[in-house]
Amino acid sequence: MPTNLPAEARHKWAEVSATRNPREKLRLMQEFLSLVPKHKGTAKLCAQVKRQMAILRREIEEKKRKKAGRGGPKFFIEKEGAAQLVILGPTKVGRSSLLGSLTNAKVEISDYPFTTREPVPGMMPYKDVQFQIIEAPALVEGAADGEGLGLQVLALARNADGLILMVDLKNQPVKQLQLILNELEKARIILQKPKAQVFIERKHMGFGLRIIVVGKLVDCTLKDVENLLRSYKVANALVKIHGEATLDDIEDAIFESAAYRPAIVLANKADIVKAKDELERLESVVAGKIKVIPISCKTRLNLDKLGEEFFKMLEIIRVYTKEPSDKQPSPKPFVLKKGATVRDLAKCIHSDFVRRFSFAKIWSDRLPFSPRKVGLDFKLEDGDIVEIHAK
């Protein structure tokens, strides 16, 4: 991106980040924009901020409507289960049919377009976990510019852990997918795992700046990163840098602009006559960049495989904990990101557990012998049983 923003603009963004009140945030964003010099390097950033402002305006409107007792659709859905997956797609591709086939949600299926007008959640069991699947209202062209319910649908996608991009083989699936990909791109939701992932967790005053580099920095030093963060007044934060990150990646993270979400394409209505040709065309356009699975909600083709596909796509693992005094581990696993360590697990169990940690015992078939005594940095895998001993 390199934005080379003036100091006033950077400081203004610090104020934006620190504000929770939507109206105040909106006002500060407007001021921020007026401080940004307009050139090629800042065009993307300005567009992104304007989009964030449009979402805020909708949120404010929605709240007003609710206060006035006029209800209106509820768009934010609290996460439940191991992961939240949003079904995105144009109208009539079969989003409701899929949700109804995978979960026990009450759905309205019809041959008329735009039947679903607000997000509908359902829980899908897979092994000993559950995925929360949400049908988003149909995505239309211009969604990222505020067309229809577009902004809310894209905000829903941004908030999810993974995306199900749904097209149907009956009605120009290549065009349908292009529409979805275009709108996601405009909303800066990316589907390919980026080379770098930067997480900035704002912390309380006095915490200071703690930067953890898991991968490596490209063309910059730790000092450069620190200076950049300080120029945006990010002074109390835990910053985790994964992969190969440039200063631009870090600036992107400050603006929370690009969000990576893993995705899968489901090509529905594989039961129709010309499905095979359409599928081939679709696959050649996607060219292996995203996994494409033909399904049919009508004949249930491949529906039973989806749990495993979602699990793989999300890159999660299940870890079972055991009390030292118990013989059996708890039947309900903790769900963690692939690559998680005993430390991550301990944090999930109790905020104080890391400080009081003494050692852990691991049981797993992949180890030459079990249990094995390990420390906080031990990397966990799917199916591990862990017993933590505290001081």
Ligand X SMILES: Nc1nc2c(ncn2[C@@H]2O[C@H](COP(=O)(O)OP(=O)(O)OP(=O)(O)O)[C@@H](O)[C@H]2O)c(=O)[nH]1
Please choose which of Mg ion, ligand X, none residue 113 contacts, taking the beta carbon within 5 to 8 angstroms, the exact cut-off set by kind.
ligand X
Please choose which of Mg ion, ligand X, none residue 186 contacts, taking the beta carbon within 5 to 8 angstroms, the exact cut-off set by kind.
none
Instruction: Report the DSSP pairing between strands 189-190 and 263-268.
Output: unpaired
**Residue 301 three-state SS:** coil
Contact positions with ligand X (CB under 6 A) in 240-259: none
Beta bridge partners of 259: 189
Which residue in 268, 306, 336, 362 binds ligand X (CB under 6 A)? Answer: 268
Contact positions with Mg ion (CB under 5 A) in 108-137: 115-116
User: Whole-angstrom Cα distance, residue 88 to residue 82?
Assistant: 19
CB of 147 vs ligand X, minimal distance in Å: 15
Which residue in 42, 52, 96, 296 binds Mg ion (CB under 5 A)? Answer: 96
Q: Which strands make up the sheet holding 83-88, listed edge to edge?
A: 120-126, 129-135, 83-88, 162-168, 263-268, 291-294
CB of 374 vs Mg ion, minimal distance in Å: 48
172, burial (CB in 10 Å: exposed 0-12, middle 13-18, buried 19+): middle
Q: Is 116 in the site for ligand X (CB under 6 A)?
A: yes
Which residue in 15, 244, 271, 283 binds ligand X (CB under 6 A)? Answer: 271
Q: Is 84 in the site for ligand X (CB under 6 A)?
A: no
- In whole angstroms, how large is the CA radius of gyration of the chain? 23
Q: Compare residues 145 and 271 and give the one whose CB is closer to ligand X.
A: 271
Instruction: Report the DSSP pairing between strands 316-321 and 334-337.
Output: antiparallel
Are 1 and 251 in contact by the 8 Å Cβ rule? The answer is yes
Task: Kindly indicate which of the ranges 95-103, 188-196, 282-290, 341-349 contains the residues binding Mg ion, using the contact rule CB under 5 A.
Answer: 95-103
Task: Kindly indicate which of the ranges 143-151, 197-205, 296-304, 373-381 contains the residues binding ligand X, using the contact rule CB under 6 A.
Answer: 296-304
CB of 96 vs Mg ion, minimal distance in Å: 3
Q: How distant, in Å, are the alpha carbons of 74, 163, 250, 319, 348 from that of 81?
A: 20, 16, 31, 14, 15
Q: Compare residues 52 and 296 and give the one whose CB is closer to ligand X.
A: 296
CB of 110 vs Mg ion, minimal distance in Å: 8
Q: Is 188 in the site for ligand X (CB under 6 A)?
A: no
Contact positions with ligand X (CB under 6 A) in 124-163: 138
Question: Which helix (DSSP H) or strand (DSSP E) does residue 15 occupy?
Answer: helix 7-18
E runs forming strands in 127-204: 129-135, 162-168, 189-190, 196-202
Q: Compare residues 294 and 333 and give the one whose CB is closer to ligand X.
A: 294
Which residues bind to ligand X, rule: CB under 6 A?
A: 91-97, 109-111, 113-116, 138, 268-269, 271-272, 296-298
